[in-house]
Structure 1
Amino acid sequence: MTASKQMTIVVDADACPVKAEIEETAKAFGIAVCMVASYDHRMEAKEGVRVVQVDRGSQSADLYIMNHIASGDVLVTQDFGLACMALGKGAIVLSPRGEQYTNGNIDYLMERRHEGARLRRAGGRTKGPKAMTAEDRISFQQKLTKVLRSEQEKLDV
């Protein structure tokens, strides 16, 4: 991250269950948020939160994010493919459950996604994610707070 660019929390917002937690945490740190969603998911901008609406195409939000995310930004997404590309651009990537995607675990996650898709193509079934709980939301908010504090400390040094 360059000195002239402020960190932004970028959210793959179409199916993000922790938007409120992101907004609350970002406000506490004074960090801008950019929610990216298709026109199918109508969202309103708020103070400190910019909303970008994109076409309904299956990859429109991902393409917008990849064209605008920068090193040092934080991305919140459930999409392993998008996470992989964002890591390559130097972003910090979190899942809505607070798992941090890193260069050390993304290959395993991509392989697991590939195996699940292969099984489904062959007629098999795979389980979806379990429902979000209050504990999941707290865990996410704690992880986001930890990441933001860590990044702030790097800038203060």
Structure 2
Amino acid sequence: MILIDADACPVKTEITEVAIRRNIQAIFVAGSYLRVADHPLIRFFAAGDAFDAADDAIAEVARPGTVTITADILLAQRVIEKGGAALDPRGREFTPASIGDVVATRDLMHELRPGLEGQTGGQGGGPKPYAKADRANFKNALDRVLTRIARG
């Protein structure tokens, strides 16, 4: 099963294509309604508008054999702790060996960013624009992870 943190996911089409081609269920989870492909393998779950509702819903069902697509490092950490696999939308896989460093870097960068009125996290350039190569890298990474999981 593929679980998608869908609110700001730029690779919805690519996930849908891979899920259908590989005959794997994909569940798009978002805070409110999101249109998804009309296919029996593709589902949508509205988690509600509470803070981290979508993350909590995904973390609740993540387990070994699931793949979660998210740019949220803390959600990726929760998924990995439950034995699931996690990929970001550019195809970077978060692993038990790497997630600690990724979380620490995230926390450090959050602290270093000057914010408004003395608060952190208020300024930054954001990620680089999403390119065609990023889509290809993502699809290749998702296929690689799904193949590894299928082989056990």
Normalising by structure 2, what TM-score?
0.89
CA deviations over 1:71-115 (Å, ceiling 9, x no partner): 210000000100001001000110000000011111111111111
Q: Which residue of 2 aligns with 1:107?
A: 100
Q: Which residue of 2 aligns with 1:117?
A: 110
**RMSD (Å) for aligned C-alpha atoms:** 1.6
Are positions 1:34 and 2:32 aligned together? no
Alpha-carbon distance in structure 1 between the residues aligned to 2:122 and 2:81: 32
Contact 2:110/2:121, CA 8 A, preserved across alignment:
no
Alpha-carbon distance in structure 2 between the residues aligned to 1:123 and 1:57: 21
Q: Which residue of 1 aligns with 2:46?
A: 53
Q: Which residue of 2 aligns with 1:148?
A: 146
Q: Which residue of 1 aligns with 2:80?
A: 87
**How many residue pairs get matched?**
146
Contact 2:70/2:89, CA 8 A, preserved across alignment:
yes
Q: Percent identity?
A: 34
Alpha-carbon distance in structure 2 between the residues aligned to 1:138 and 1:104: 25
- Seen in structure 2, the aligned counterparts of structure 1 residues 74 and 123 have a Cα distance that, compared at 3 Å, is closer
Contact 1:72/1:92, CA 8 A, preserved across alignment:
yes
Q: Which residue of 1 aligns with 2:129?
A: 131
Normalising by structure 1, what TM-score?
0.86
Q: CA deviation at 1:43?
A: 2.1
Are positions 1:43 and 2:35 aligned together? yes
- Seen in structure 2, the aligned counterparts of structure 1 residues 146 and 55 have a Cα distance that, compared at 3 Å, is same
Q: 3-state SS of the aligned residue for 1:36?
A: strand
Q: 3-state SS of the aligned residue for 2:26?
A: strand
